[in-house]
Structure 1
Amino acid sequence: MKKIIQYPLVLLFALFILLFSVVDMFISRREFSETENRYLQLRPDFSVKTLMNGKFTSTYETYINDQFVLRDGWINLKSKAEYFIGKQENNSIVYGKDHYMFEKYDRTDDERIAKNIALVNEFFSTYSDIPATFAIIPNSYMILSDKLPYGLDLIDQYEYIDNLYAQVKSPNVSTLSLKESLLAHKDNYIYYMTDHHWTTYGAYLSYSDFVRSKGMTPVAYDSLKGTEVPGFYGTYFSKTKLFNASPDVITYMDIPTTSVTIDGKTMVQGADKTEVPVTGLYNLDQFNKRDKYAGFLYGNNGVTVIKSDNNQHRVAGKTSRILVIKDSYGNSFVPYLTYNYDEVVVIDLRAIPFKISEFMAQNEFDDILLLYNFMNFASDTNFARLKY
């Protein structure tokens, strides 16, 4: 005992571990973390097989990390400590000016980019009889570069995007530069501060660029009725847990539809794994939850078909249809297209339950739009689905 007392820090540490181990035995386990916007690892089932192949130990380690007692409090304490010592980066997220956060995107996978553009070109060539538009969205740090910390060396997306556009050779394909309109409005609220997506207004600017490139007039932004939802903390916040982060405001537009079907159904599974009725363009219940951006188009689903009477360019006796192949940036972009097409068909390659070749054989389109943000285009492994 005398020897133990000689090392009080060791004794305190041992008591600390013992106390939290006992407390940890009696706390309830959470399935979902609102703070981190993700599902947490629950206690894995033990078996000799999973123990021998290492799966049990690795999963159990994740379980311990996810379910540690007072975990959110420790994360908040870490955030404050790092902030007050002047740290400007956490978990590859950089703190910029005016409460903006940016991803530290200083390297990219050139091999993946080359594969993806080859697959996209093959798709465009296969359906060369349909006018198509290829549009890559610059991420926020490119447009809002004046808000970045001084001296931060990140990937020049403009150079990469120009190179991608130069590789598109199919005569039916037009490339669309989006940076000019975004740069012209960079002092407006066009990207979220705590999230990697653009705002509803940022999406509108690029929607306007697209329909003008097709010889059409965009719906007037001021003519739309918007509803603001405050208190949005996005993906960047989920990675940093910055204690003094300024919340974003999400705006969704009151855009009428005649029907919306998702994967052929009028019911979809919500974030809480319950069935949600499709009653319009938005999952309104989701705007009351942490992952508010998932309210647009009910999140990322395989195929969404939107029909409406909004089309300001309707031709009597004809139903105009556009196919949009998109990532999550497209979810806040697509609703505007109802003012220029009778039907908007939306595909997310991450979730399609069918072969593209069969789908294209069964449907006719006036236009195709392939719309991705650059960082996702550079890393997405689902473009191979365009081949089948």
Structure 2
Amino acid sequence: MEKYVHRRSDRHLPPVSLIVFAALLCGFALVNLFWPKRENSELENRKLAQMPVFSVKTLLNGKWQDDFSTYLQDQVALRDGWINLESAVNALAFGKTEESGILNGKDGWMFTKLFTVSTDTEKQLGKNISAVTNFAQRYPGRVTFLLAPSASDIYPEMLPANAPMVDEDAMLDDIFAQVQASGADVIDMRDDYRANKDQYLYFKTDHHWTPDGAYRAYQQFCTLKNLTPFDCNVYTKITVPDFYGTHYSATRRWNAQADSFSYYDLPNQMTVYKVNGEADYEPVKTEGLMNLAKLDTRDKYGAFLDGNNGYSVIEGNGTGSILVVKDSYANSFIPYLTANYAKIGVVDFRGLAYGLDSTIEKEGYDQILILYNFQTFISDNKVIYLDRPTTLK
């Protein structure tokens, strides 16, 4: 009878290897223990998890363990480097073209993924269109609607191969037709952008248009209103290099090409208000149109108009007044309006959750410009504040 002799596997690690592995593991744990903890991640543009407060209740229901695990992930030593390494491996080894809802396109382009429009988004879009059309009907001859197309709609050849993006052109056609039927003026930039797509219209690493792209839209606005455009030769042009935007923060693309942008050194002042209620606001600060301190942060685009304030008023060099209702696309557009209007009101519904009729009546705005980008407009649940007619008491 054949006998089987049990032999100890020679696949076990030798003691020296075990000691080295244990030393590395303990060493990394010690590094993590003493590694400086951060409150925010500049590159990821978000707050990082902090050490959770311990309690018996959160321990028993498992919340403390989950929060502690998140804390360890967010505060791991060399976190930015690990994320960059993961992004490079995903792209080079696995050919991954999507990361956190962003598509890595050709020639360094990054695009917001939009393959489908959900039922909820379709409903919201219907409400937003109704809000704009109803508002335009309340202010006949005074409303202009500018909806910026997505970079993916202007540069589809730069998308990853066979990316099934939604038919943005068809959606824009429908939106513009409905808004125009309400009596509002409509500015559609698609033909102009496609004819000038060799220019620097959109950032590659960010979801915004560039100030150059915004200027082309501003020129169309001036043509529509019979205004003389801002003269770029009159003021000093300052270029900001090494801009990595929101798309880069999401993908951490290993071979990302830095963007840059320019702004003009304007003397105009902007007063930012604290919003207390409908047509009820008080001044908080008066400053220039660029918050230069933000040029030293990751969110350099946030320097324009010092970000997204609920209500602010800019002193212009022209005549009359205009109220701009907007998302952040307008932030690099609005400084050009200083050449045409004496007073420029700026409303961002993220900080002003009220109807505008009282403000328009109180401040006497002559014109209203509604300026959004397509992907924000179709899903933003705050556009409906336009459809809240009110009367100043």
* TM-score normalised per structure 2: 0.85
Deviates more, 1:279-288 or 1:82-91: 82-91
Residue 163 (structure 2) pairs with residue 152 (structure 1): yes
In the alignment, structure 1 residue 261 sits paired with structure 2 residue 268: no
Q: Which residue of 1 aligns with 2:101?
A: 92
Instruction: Pick from 118, 129, 132 the counterpart of residue 130 of structure 2.
Output: 118
Q: Equivalent residue for 1:271?
A: none
Separation in structure 2 between the aligned mates of residue 36 and residue 169 of structure 1, nearest angstrom: 39
* Mapped partners of 1:59, 1:234: distance in 2: 28
Q: Give the structure 2 partner of residue 284 of structure 1.
A: 292
What is the CA–CA distance in structure 1 between the aligned matches of 2:133 and 2:9, rounded to whole Å?
71
Aligned CA-pair RMSD: 2.7
> Matches of 1:234 and 1:226 in 2, distance apart?
21
- One-letter amino acid of the counterpart of residue 99, structure 1: G
Q: Corresponding residue for 2:3?
A: none
Where in structure 2 are the equivalents of 1:66-145 lying within 5 Å? 66-85=74-93, 86-108=95-117, 109-125=121-137, 127-129=138-140, 131-145=142-156
Deviation at 1:351, TM superposition (A): 1.0
Q: Percent identity?
A: 39
CA distance in 1, matches of 2:147, 2:59: 45
Cα separation, partners in 2 of 1:306 and 1:115, compared to 1, 3 Å: same
Give per-residue Cα distances to partners, 1:319-341, cap 9 Å, x unaligned.
x1101000000000000011111
What is the distance in 1 between the residues matched to 2:55 and 2:183?
Answer: 57
Which whole-Å CA distance do the structure 2 matches of 1:5 and 1:19 have between them?
A: 28
Report the equivalent of 1:340. 340
Alpha carbons of structure 1 residues 185 and 220: separation in structure 2 relative to 1, 3 Å: farther
SS state of the match for residue 192, structure 1?
A: coil
1:91/1:239 contact within 8 Å kept: yes
Check if 1:26 corresponds to 2:44.
no
Counterpart for residue 384 of structure 2: 384
1:98 to partner: Cα distance: 2.4
Q: Distance in 2 between matches of 1:53 and 1:361?
A: 54
Deviations 1:293-313, CA, capped at 9 Å, x for gaps: 00000001101100122x2xx
Counterpart contact for 2:180–2:186, Cα < 8 Å:
no
Matches of 1:262 and 1:15 in 2, distance apart? Answer: 56
In structure 2, the partner of 1:274 is none
Return the letter of the residue paired with 2:298.
Answer: R
Instruction: Please point out which of 158, 178, 189 is paired with 1:167.
Output: 178
Deviation at 1:156, TM superposition (A): 2.0
Paired residue total:
367
CA shift in 2, pair 1:308/1:52, >3 Å: farther
Indicate the residue corresponding to 2:260 in structure 1.
Answer: 249
Name the SS for the 1:379 alignment partner: coil
Residue correspondence of structure 1 range 210-249 to structure 2 within 5 A:
210-249=221-260
Q: 1:184 aligns with which of 184, 188, 195?
A: 195
Residue 171 of structure 1 deviates from its aligned partner by 4.6
Instruction: Tell me how far 1:196 sits from its aligned partner.
Output: 0.6
Matching residue's letter, 1:261: T
Shift of 1:153: 1.6
Question: For the residues of structure 1 that align with 2:190 and 2:8, how far apart are their CA atoms?
Answer: 69
Would you say the 8 A contact 2:135–2:387 is kept in 1?
yes
Structure 1, 77-86 or 234-243: larger mean CA deviation: 77-86
Three-state SS of the structure 2 residue aligned to 1:167 is: helix
Judged with a 3 Å threshold, the aligned counterparts in structure 2 of structure 1 residues 16 and 234 are, in CA distance, closer, same or farther, namely same
Corresponding position: 1:200 with 2:211: yes
Q: 1:307 aligns with which of 304, 307, 315?
A: 315
8 Å contact 1:357–1:387 — kept in the other structure? no
1:41 to 43, 49, 67: 49
Gaps of 5+ in 2: 1-6, 274-281, 389-393
Structure 2: distance between partners of 1:184 and 1:13:
60
In the alignment, is the contact (CA less than 8 A) between 2:136 and 2:182 conserved in 1?
Answer: no
Distance in 1 between the 2:315 and 2:179 partners? 31
The alpha-carbon deviation at position 216 of structure 1 amounts to 1.7
Q: Which runs of 5+ in 1 are unaligned?
A: 268-277, 315-319
Distance 2:347 2:42 in 1: 28
State the TM-score, normalized to the length of structure 1: 0.86
Q: Quick one: which amino acid aligns to residue 298 of structure 1?
A: D
Amino acid at match of 2:162: G
Contact 1:256 1:308 in 2 (8 A): no
Letter in 2 for 1:375: Q
